[in-house]
Amino acid sequence: MAEAEGVIDTPESAGADESAGPETEERPRGKRKLAALLVVAVLAYLLDLGSKMLVVARLEGHEPIDVIGDLLRLNAIRNKGAAFGMGEAYTVIFTLIAAVVITVIIRLSRKLYSLPWAIALGLLLGGALGNLTDRIFRSPGIFRGAVVDFIAPAHFAVFNLADSAIVCGGILIVLLSFRGLDPDGTIHKD
């Protein structure tokens, strides 16, 4: 009957006609997903920040370090642009895009009832914050800073852990979307 009147059950409204027990059980589930998002974001951010601090202190200005022969090297560079060093003149725009992504993730987190989505969004948030920190605080100046990249696979662009977190989060979001899982925990079949 509720569906016929145009009302759709959501995690918040499920159990609203029942006793307070099921309703109060839904709220902690949602909070746990937000906590998972925050834990993943903080871990991704701290790993990125720590690795960049180590690279700047120990590797910048030195010869690249071969990790796996010619296949993988650690090579510190400063990237003013986006992926593959493109768009160096648009550093301010990349900074604004990162800020918008962070804002969208924070807004979306209010309706988060899915652990896989929490992990994916946490990776995106931590990675975006990592690169945004560089854009704000590194030289040549505020909102124009160059991102520290150092992971250099053969025949590929040099990147950092924030970039890795963003890519992994994006891939996970695509997979979740193909499976029909929404951030609110509902599954749809199209």
Q: Mind telling me the catalytic residues?
A: 149, 163
Rounded to whole angstroms, how far apart are CA atoms 141 and 72?
31
How many other C-beta atoms lie within 10 A of the C-beta of residue 182?
14
Structure tokens at 42: 């903080």
Helix H or strand E segment including 74 = strand 72-79
Residue 53: count other Cβ atoms within 10 Å of its Cβ: 11
Q: E strands, 38-187, where? A: 65-68, 72-79, 147-153
Strand, helix or coil for residue 79: strand
Name the one residue in this structure whose structure tokens are 């990790």: 67
Paired tokens of 88: 């160096």
C-alpha 118/C-alpha 34 separation (Å) is: 7
